């Protein structure tokens, strides 16, 4: 040793002999210290402090002992050392020596473990692997007499040797094959079987099986099906699924297993157990995926014979589906290799002909359940490949068509149509997955004329009451039209004309299915045949629209709706939008009815919005159109003439459209609009010229509001008045309070809100705050004026949403509730604070802080909880109404987290006469009951009693409220423990019976459901 002098004392005294002795003296319970000793020796070896010879000599005495257990233990020491040695430490010669040494003693315990550690060593050679394997196969055939642990080591050794030295072991050929079959026979332990299956899998894949196929197959198939159930707390965590998967892999490993696997697997299907059937199906699927087509062809007959029974007599739907998938997969596999039999007929054709023939037989009784399965089988086969589709088309369409023609009742025809539909659906899939050129020979072509004719006849020539039949015919026609490259454009055009007629003229009231199916078909066709839609459908729909509107709103509404739906399709969109703008121009020139103009405007907005995901700046295309319309509206306002554009509804619809177009236009276009907010593109300033002298001029505020919603608030925005908000705000407030027309007043209120919320700077906010404080509610004239209160609430809303002065404003408003004159009005107005507004949205650039709702709610609730009991009797309902107004508009989770404080207030609210308040409270209760029943459980008796009162009292509660109350009641069963509810069942039943006689149908229906839900509580559960 080279390192004299510096070696630490401890290492100097390392003595292999005493180390070995120490090891030998450990007993069964000292496994850890034994392992520690082996590890120490290994590291000494690794650092070359001792030699291998010294180690071997140290245990020589024990290895020669007569006592088997001592010999085994000494070998275990050696194995432990080998295990802890890095794989490159030993030289080839050393490995060889140890290998020979261990192989000679292979029957002694510990030798196998030693070999297991040794074979992973870097220098373990192929020859050594063969020697070892041979020794195992020759000497350890009594493996089944050994305990599980030892069996595991042996099997593991075979498994690892095969993994690490595959090529060497392959040279052993049949010896190995036969040897392992014998060695593994009778193994039952799941952990060992996992390894056994892996070994057999490799052998089946890579060995030449010669005439041992059957014995190898039997050696694993005897475990099929796996019914293993893992013991609790199994440390190895092997599941039945693991075993099943690995065994399945084995069975599917070699085509040569086919002749044994198919008959035996199919035989297992006779078992009634669905689980075994599922396993068999999965295994068959695995075999079909790996076996060759020729093997499959040999067994296809038997496969079909067994599987058809599973489909036609399925006990469970999913089992039938599984069986179908196998029939289909087999066809698909047969298609991949176009092998033929001796007569030159392809296996696919034989297989498909056999099945088609049988299915056709079933289809002769079209209304029998089995007919449906027959169609499903045919479709499953057809969808597997285009060759399969062609064979099936040829085999069944002639008979199917003549059967259909000969069918006497609509019911049988319907069943045939169902069959056509399923198969044509498969055809669509196949043609889309495997596009085909027109020059291909396509059997379906031969039948297309007849099919087109039959389907058209069924659709258009059947009595309108035969709804389901006609829907089927339409679906068939749709599928046929959707198969790429089968029908010509003219033929599809013909079908489209039928769809047009149905879409436009079919009675859709109560029976929307046919119409909606037709619309869907048109939409689908627009993807592949947009030109036909543009040439036929769009003109037809436009032609149906009146010039001047008409009183028959239904007629044009339908046309416009369908055009709007079509416009969502990218390749129709621009054309449809431009045509609709054209119709709008015509309508305006002809002074059409406002409703008609409104419908057109709404459809345009819908169409443009639908294009946004594809085209962010879609609005830019229509800026000119929008500008023209705005100009026109400004001109008519100035001239004061009667025109559709002076109608408020039309103006609102136009406002929405313009807002959308501006927002989706380019930035420069948007900037342009900033200047025109109050001029509407005329040269005069409309808004303040003559202070809105006429209603028509006042109406321009509607469009201006939408402008304001649409434009940006950028620093240096050229918006007029931006510098100083005081004059315009004060002006607007004055006009709003004076305004008599609700629609116009609302637009003014929205305008003020937008201005303050979106554009006001600090000084502007101060102006708003001052107006709120001084709106003069102390002055009795304004105090009872709802218009003034509205202005106050909208101004407050504008500030609160951006969290400016929130708490001060709320305190101000809550204080007003106690005032004699205005308290009631302010309470009602609380609803305005958080209600949704069409223009004040984030999308329009409004400043809406996330927490604003929460602050309003918690602040108000805290104030009311504190003030309620001390408040004058007249003030209490105002508190409840104010709270109710807020509850309607906040997040339900927020409500649920405050149920404790809310409960007493809610119960009080159910007694006040205000309908709106009660409605809001019932909604809150309904949410609490369904999402957090515990929060109201304490008050359940009162809640039930109050709800019943509302439901029964027709005189004071309107129908919708009664409906809400009954629905809320029916939510209760199932949400609470039974013993909580049982005391109420009698009362509820007694009272709900009275509601069964409610004059309104909806309420009665709700009462029926409610009673059923509560009665179910009383019934004993006899479920097994």
Partner 1 sequence: MESIQNANPTIRAASDLPTRRRKASFSTAASDPLGIFTQAIPSPSYNFDPFSSSSTSPISSDSDSEEGTEPIDTQEIYDLISTISDPEHPLSLGSLAVVNLPDIYIRPLGAQDLQVVTVEITPTITHCSLATLIGLGIRVRLERCLPPRFRVDVRVKEGTHSTAEQVTKQLGDKERVAAAMENQQLMGVLKKMLETCQ
For partner 1, give the closer residue by CB, 200 or 1007: 1007
Residue 786: its H or E element: helix 786-801
Is 565 one of the binding residues for partner 1 (CB under 8 A)?
Answer: yes
Q: In this chain, which of 835, 930, 949, 985 binds partner 1, going by CB under 8 A?
A: 835
Q: Tokens in use for 14?
A: 């390392």
Q: Which stretch binds partner 1 (CB under 8 A): 8-16, 119-127, 480-488, 555-563?
A: 555-563
Q: In this chain, which of 99, 515, 629, 800 binds partner 1, going by CB under 8 A?
A: 515
Q: Is 53 left (phi over 0), alpha (psi -120 to 50) or beta?
A: alpha
In sequence order, the β-bridge partners of residue 340 are 346
Restricting to residues 630-649, which ones interact with partner 1 according to CB under 8 A?
648-649
Q: Which stretch binds partner 1 (CB under 8 A): 298-306, 329-337, 970-978, 1012-1020?
A: 1012-1020
Q: Using the 8-state DSSP alphabet, how is residue 123 labeled? A: T
Query: How many Cβ atoms sit within 10 Å of the Cβ of residue 900?
Result: 9
For partner 1, give the closer residue by CB, 126 or 743: 743
Is 603 one of the binding residues for partner 1 (CB under 8 A)?
Answer: yes
| Least distance from partner 1 to the Cβ atom of residue 960, Å | 5
Restricting to residues 233-292, which ones interact with partner 1 according to CB under 8 A?
none
Torsion angle defined by CA atoms of residues 219, 220, 222 and 225, in that order, rounded to the nearest 10 degrees: 180
Say if CB 116 and CB 159 are below 8 A apart.
no
Is 419 one of the binding residues for partner 1 (CB under 8 A)?
Answer: no
Q: In this chain, which of 822, 831, 834, 853 binds partner 1, going by CB under 8 A?
A: 831
Q: In this chain, which of 170, 268, 294, 511 binds partner 1, going by CB under 8 A?
A: 511
Q: Which residues contact 49 (CB under 8 A, 6 or more apart)?
A: 1, 11, 14
Restricting to residues 652-711, which ones interact with partner 1 according to CB under 8 A?
652-653, 656
- CA gyration radius for the chain? 43
Q: Tokens in use for 244?
A: 């099943």
Q: How far from 968 is each of 543, 922, 948, 956, 995, CA to CA, in Å? A: 49, 7, 10, 18, 14
Is 516 one of the binding residues for partner 1 (CB under 8 A)?
Answer: yes
For partner 1, give the closer residue by CB, 467 or 734: 467
| Least distance from partner 1 to the Cβ atom of residue 324, Å | 20
For partner 1, give the closer residue by CB, 268 or 954: 954
Q: In this chain, which of 837, 860, 967, 972 binds partner 1, going by CB under 8 A?
A: 837
Restricting to residues 800-829, which ones interact with partner 1 according to CB under 8 A?
825, 828-829
Query: How many Cβ atoms sit within 10 Å of the Cβ of residue 282?
Result: 15
For partner 1, give the closer residue by CB, 561 or 672: 561
Is 797 one of the binding residues for partner 1 (CB under 8 A)?
Answer: no
Restricting to residues 71-130, which ones interact with partner 1 according to CB under 8 A?
none
User: Strand, helix or coil at 233?
Assistant: coil
Is 416 one of the binding residues for partner 1 (CB under 8 A)?
Answer: no
Q: Residue written as tokens 């069975």? A: 251
H helical segments located in 84-189:
92-104, 111-119, 126-139, 148-164, 166-170, 174-184
Is 958 one of the binding residues for partner 1 (CB under 8 A)?
Answer: yes
For partner 1, give the closer residue by CB, 356 or 860: 860
Q: In this chain, which of 377, 885, 925, 975 binds partner 1, going by CB under 8 A?
A: 885
| Least distance from partner 1 to the Cβ atom of residue 1007, Å | 8
| Least distance from partner 1 to the Cβ atom of residue 1023, Å | 9
Restricting to residues 973-1002, which ones interact with partner 1 according to CB under 8 A?
993-994, 996-997, 999-1002
Q: In this chain, which of 8, 231, 344, 742 binds partner 1, going by CB under 8 A?
A: 742
Is 313 one of the binding residues for partner 1 (CB under 8 A)?
Answer: no
Restricting to residues 887-926, which ones interact with partner 1 according to CB under 8 A?
888, 915-916, 919-920, 923
| Site pattern 762..791 for partner 1 (x: CB under 8 A) | ------------------------x--xx-
Q: Tokens in use for 239?
A: 């599941």
Q: 535-544, long-range: CB within 8 Å, 24+ apart, which pairs? A: 535/493, 536/493, 536/496, 536/497, 536/500, 537/496, 537/499, 537/500, 537/566, 538/563, 538/566, 538/572, 538/575, 538/576, 538/579, 540/497, 540/500, 540/504, 541/500, 541/504, 541/566, 542/579, 542/583, 544/504
Restricting to residues 421-480, which ones interact with partner 1 according to CB under 8 A?
465-468, 471
Q: Which residues contact 631 (CB under 8 A, 6 or more apart)?
A: 680, 681, 682
For partner 1, give the closer residue by CB, 605 or 772: 605
For partner 1, give the closer residue by CB, 911 or 934: 911
Is 602 one of the binding residues for partner 1 (CB under 8 A)?
Answer: yes
CA 820, 823, 829 angle in degrees (round to 5)?
A: 160
């Amino acid at each position: 040793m080279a390192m004299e002098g510096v070696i630490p004392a401890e290492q100097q005294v390392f003595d292999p002999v005493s180390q070995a002795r120490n090891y030998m003296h450990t007993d069964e319970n000292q496994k850890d210290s034994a392992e520690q000793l082996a590890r120490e020796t290994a590291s000494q070896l690794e650092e070359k402090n001792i030699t291998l010879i010294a180690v071997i000599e140290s245990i020589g005495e024990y290895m020669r002992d007569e006592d088997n257990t001592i010999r085994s233990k000494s070998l275990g020491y050696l194995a432990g050392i080998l295990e802890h040695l890095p794989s490159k430490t030993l030289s080839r010669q050393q490995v060889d020596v140890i290998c020979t040494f261990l192989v000679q003693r292979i029957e002694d315990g510990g030798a196998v473990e030693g070999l297991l550690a040794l074979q992973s060593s870097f220098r373990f050679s192929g020859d050594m692997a063969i020697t070892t394997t041979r020794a195992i196969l020759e000497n350890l055939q009594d493996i089944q007499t050994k305990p599980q642990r030892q069996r595991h080591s042996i099997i593991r050794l075979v498994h690892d040797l095969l993994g690490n030295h595959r090529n060497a072991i392959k040279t052993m050929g049949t010896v190995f094959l036969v040897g392992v079959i014998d060695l593994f026979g009778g193994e039952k332990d799941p952990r060992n079987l996992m390894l056994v299956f892996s070994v057999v899998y490799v052998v089946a894949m890579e060995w030449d099986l010669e005439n041992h196929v059957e014995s190898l197959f039997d050696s694993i198939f005897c475990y099929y099906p796996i019914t293993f159930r893992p013991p609790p707390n199994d440390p190895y965590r092997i599941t039945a699924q693991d075993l099943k998967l690995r065994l399945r892999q084995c069975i599917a490993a070699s085509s040569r297993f086919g002749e044994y696997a198919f008959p035996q697997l199919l035989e297992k299907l006779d078992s009634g157990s669905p689980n075994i059937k599922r396993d068999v199906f999965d295994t068959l699927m695995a075999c079909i995926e790996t076996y060759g087509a020729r093997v499959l062809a040999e067994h296809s007959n038997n496969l079909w014979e067994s599987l058809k029974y599973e489909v036609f007599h399925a006990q469970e739907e999913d089992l039938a589906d599984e069986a179908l998938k196998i029939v289909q997969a087999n066809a698909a596999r047969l298609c991949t290799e176009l092998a033929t039999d001796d007569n030159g007929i392809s296996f696919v054709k034989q297989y498909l002909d056999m099945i088609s023939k049988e299915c056709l037989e079933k289809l002769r009784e079209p209304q029998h359940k089995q007919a449906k399965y027959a169609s499903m089988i045919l479709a499953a086969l057809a969808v597997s490949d285009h060759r399969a589709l062609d064979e099936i088309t040829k085999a069944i369409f002639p008979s199917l068509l003549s059967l259909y023609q000969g069918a006497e009742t609509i019911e049988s025809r319907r069943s045939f149509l169902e069959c056509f539909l399923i198969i044509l659906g498969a055809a669509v899939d196949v043609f889309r997955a495997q596009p085909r050129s027109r020059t291909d020979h396509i059997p379906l072509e031969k039948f297309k004329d007849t099919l087109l004719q039959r389907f058209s006849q069924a659709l258009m020539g059947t009595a309108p009451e035969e709804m389901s039949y006609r829907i089927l015919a339409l679906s068939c026609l749709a599928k046929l039209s959707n198969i790429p490259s089968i029908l010509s454009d003219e033929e599809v055009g013909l079908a489209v004309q039928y769809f047009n007629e149905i879409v436009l003229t079919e009675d859709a009231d109560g029976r929307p299915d046919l119409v909606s199916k037709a619309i869907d078909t048109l939409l689908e066709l627009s993807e592949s045949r947009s030109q036909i839609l543009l040439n036929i459908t769009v003109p037809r729909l436009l032609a149906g629209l009146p010039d001047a509107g008409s009183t028959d709103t239904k007629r044009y509404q339908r046309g416009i709706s369908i055009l709007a739906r079509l416009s969502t399709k990218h390749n129709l969109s621009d054309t449809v939008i431009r045509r609709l703008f054209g119709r709008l121009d015509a309508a305006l020139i002809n002074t059409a009815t406002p409703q008609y103009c409104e419908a057109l405007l709404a459809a345009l907005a819908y169409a443009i919005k639908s294009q946004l995901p594809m085209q962010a700046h879609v609005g830019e295309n229509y800026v000119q159109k929008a500008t023209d319309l705005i100009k026109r509206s400004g001109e008519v306002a100035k001239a004061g003439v009667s025109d559709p554009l002076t109608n408020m509804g039309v103006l609102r619809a136009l406002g929405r459209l313009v807002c959308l177009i501006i927002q989706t236009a380019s930035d420069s276009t948007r900037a342009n609009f900033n200047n025109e907010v109050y001029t509407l593109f005329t040269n005069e300033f409309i808004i303040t010229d003559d202070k809105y002298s006429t209603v028509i001029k006042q109406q321009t505020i509607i469009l201006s509001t939408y402008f304001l919603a649409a434009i940006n608030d950028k620093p240096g925005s050229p918006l007029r008045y931006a510098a100083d908000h005081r004059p315009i705000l004060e002006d607007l407030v004055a006009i709003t309070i004076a305004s008599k027309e609700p629609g116009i007043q609302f637009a003014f209120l929205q305008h003020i809100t937008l201005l303050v919320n979106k554009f006001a700077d600090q000084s502007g906010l101060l102006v708003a705050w001052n107006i709120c404080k001084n709106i003069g509610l102390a002055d009795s004239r304004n105090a009872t004026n709802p218009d003034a209160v509205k202005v106050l609430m909208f101004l407050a809303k504008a500030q609160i949403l951006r969290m400016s002065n929130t708490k001060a404003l709320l305190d101000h408003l809550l204080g007003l509730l106690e005032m004699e004159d205005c308290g009631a009005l302010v309470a009602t107005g609380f609803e305005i604070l958080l209600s949704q507004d069409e223009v004040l949205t984030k999308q329009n650039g409004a400043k809406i802080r996330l927490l604003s709702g929460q602050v309003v709610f918690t602040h108000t609730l805290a104030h009311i909880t504190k003030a309620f009991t001390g408040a004058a009797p007249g003030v209490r309902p105002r508190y409840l109404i104010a709270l109710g107004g807020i509850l309607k508009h906040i997040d339900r989770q927020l409500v649920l987290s405050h149920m404790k404080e809310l409960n007493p207030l809610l119960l009080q609210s159910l007694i006040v006469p205000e309908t709106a308040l009660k409605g809001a409270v019932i909604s809150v209760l309904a949410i609490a009951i369904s999402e957090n029943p515990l929060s109201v459980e304490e008050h359940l008796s009162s809640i039930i009693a109050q709800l019943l009162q509302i439901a029964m009292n027709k005189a004071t509660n309107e129908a919708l409220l009664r409906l809400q109350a009954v629905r809320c009641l029916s939510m209760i069963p199932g949400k609470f423990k039974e013993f909580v509810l049982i005391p109420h069942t009698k009362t509820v039943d007694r009272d709900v019976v009275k509601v069964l006689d409610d004059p309104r149908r909806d309420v009665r229906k709700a009462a029926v459901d409610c009673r059923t839900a509560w009665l179910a509580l009383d019934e004993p559960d006899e479920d097994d």
